[in-house]
Amino acid sequence: MTPKQELIVVGAGLAGSEAAWQAAQRGLRVQLYEMRPTISTGAHQTGDLAELVCSNSLGSMLPDRASGVLQNELRRLDSMLLECAEAAALPAGSALAVDRAVFARLVTARIESHPNIEIRRQEVTRIPPGPAIIASGPLTSTSLSNAIAALTGEEHLHFYDAIAPIVSLESVHMGIAFRASRFGRGEQEQGDYINCPFTQAEYETFVAELVSAERIQLRDFEREIEMGVKARAHHFFEGCLPIEIMARRGNQALAFGPMRPVGLTDPRSGKRPYAVVQLRQDNLAGSLYNLVGFQTNLTFPEQKRVFRMIPGLKEAEFVRYGQMHRNTFVAAPKVLLPTLQFRRRADLFFAGQITGVEGYLGNVATGLLAGWNAARRLQGQAPLTLPVTTMLGALCHYITHADLADFQPMKANFGILPPLATRSRMGRRERARAYAERARLDLDHFLEEL
Ligand SMILES: Cc1cc2nc3c(=O)[nH]c(=O)nc-3n(C[C@H](O)[C@H](O)[C@H](O)COP(=O)(O)OP(=O)(O)OC[C@H]3O[C@@H](n4cnc5c(N)ncnc54)[C@H](O)[C@@H]3O)c2cc1C
């Protein structure tokens, strides 16, 4: 009998638990390392595997929502964590919300009883020299973070997220907002930015609401965010200050900072606006735009309320809210392949939030692919790149092809999928259904061809 191939998985969170399961199901002998409960992350509260640190929702189950598409793909690919989530589901309308404790206990029991998995409750402080998956999450321990930084190069490991909100282009009112680059010096003829112009009265009302809006309580380890963020190893810079903190420095702080209107003329008035919020393209398809300089720590409902006061964003659809929290993630466009392999070491995989994929479901999904691909590689088969028209394939493609200079984590959304082939005009929902159907057919076809 040939001895089983061995794989180390670091971190038994969402990605690591799914990765270990997938590899073990394919016959690998897996050592799954988890530092909790001996060493805490500061956010987890138990020693259970796959503990959800915050919300208990895994997103909408509707088949024409991005999270619904990803859930269907996970189901099709036999995700163990999705099965546990469905078993731990609570009534929550169309959302897949779970009882956190039941969910984590179910996952823990499944992993503990798998004959091919051995759980080791121990911190990993070095990159394993043999076949391994790093799934240590956004709160990776310091020693391992240092080891990853040494592997990738310090400039390719990020420690904090200073994320600005992202809105969908189709929800921006282009009768109010206008395209232009400052002083007409852009790359695109029509202007690189979408500009939301303010009158003085609109600006003053907006700033007053911004400084008094409710903020998320910062955890101890995140307090330095208030001072300016350590966005990359050894670099603190003020550009990452939350917008509401900057606004507190004085009524004109934003008008002379991220909202300065210089070099811009509002085509409706023919004049320079009093202030502007600029929106910058966020994905290749040009369907998503981020609010430049608007990294924030406001609660999500407050972001929706206050940022919808920006002229042109009254009906804005927020694809992602701004966030500021500790988040360890590698510069995936530089160091990873869409198979989730480390570019310079084919037997080393990354999975979960540390790849730059955001959100519970996306983290489970990258764990699934990493576990599957690690098994394939150890069993002499080529690791797989999923079709970019599937949600999981698009996520892996996005993180490995995004612009490195502005790389920020991304969750499942339709904006990262390639445009549909059809030229016919469709409403938002109809288009979402078409994306979902294409993703389903392409994944089926891909699996049949294997
Ligand atoms: C505070 C916070 C709140 C969040 N809230 C949400 C939310 O509401 N909804 C959402 O969709 N996403 C949320 N996220 C983002 C993300 O989806 C979750 O963090 C998710 O759990 C990440 O999955 P993961 O498997 O990559 O990491 P985790 O689930 O964190 O798993 C990583 C595991 O690795 C272990 N570990 C770390 N270092 C080592 C080491 N050196 N050796 C051994 N083990 C180690 C950790 O203890 C942990 O168990 C949040 C993130 C944070 C930080």
pLDDT one-digit tens code per residue, 218-271: 665 455 555 544 444 333 344 567 899 899 999 999 999 999 999 999 999 999
The overall average pLDDT reported for the chain is 90
Please report, rounded to a whole number, the percentage of residues in the chain having pLDDT higher than 70. 93
3-class DSSP state of 323: strand
Q: Is the CB of 16 under 6 A from ligand 1?
A: yes
Taking the centre of ligand 1 as the mean of its atom positions, its distance from the CA of residue 300, in whole angstroms, is: 20
**Can you tell me which atom of ligand 1 is nearest the CA of 361?**
11
Q: Is the CB of 359 under 6 A from ligand 1?
A: yes
Taking the centre of ligand 1 as the mean of its atom positions, its distance from the CA of residue 431, in whole angstroms, is: 32
Residue 2 has pLDDT above 90, yes or no: no
CB 370 within 8 A of CB 376: no
Of 146, 350, 360, the one to substitute when testing ligand 1's pocket (max ligand atoms within 8 A of C-beta) is 360
Nearest CA to ligand 1 atom 11: 359
Among 305, 314, 281, CA closest to 166: 281
CB 22 within 8 A of CB 82: no
Q: Is the CB of 33 under 6 A from ligand 1?
A: yes
Greater confidence, 431 or 320?
431
Model pLDDT, residue 220: 52
Model pLDDT, residue 3: 57
Taking the centre of ligand 1 as the mean of its atom positions, its distance from the CA of residue 295, in whole angstroms, is: 21
Model pLDDT, residue 408: 80
Q: Is the CB of 55 under 6 A from ligand 1?
A: yes
Of 94-108, 186-200, 219-233, which one has max mean pLDDT?
94-108
The pTM of the full predicted model, rounded to 2 decimals, is 0.76
Q: Is the CB of 362 under 6 A from ligand 1?
A: no
Model pLDDT, residue 185: 75
Q: Find the mean pLDDT for residues 152-181.
A: 87
Q: Find the mean pLDDT for residues 112-125.
A: 98
Q: Is the CB of 140 under 6 A from ligand 1?
A: yes
DSSP state of 266: B
Greater confidence, 411 or 341?
341
Maximal C-alpha separation, the chain: 80
Model pLDDT, residue 219: 60
Sheet of 275-281: strand order equals: 178-180, 193-198, 275-281, 288-291, 166-168, 318-320
3-class DSSP state of 371: helix
Taking the centre of ligand 1 as the mean of its atom positions, its distance from the CA of residue 7, in whole angstroms, is: 21
Q: Is the CB of 34 under 6 A from ligand 1?
A: yes
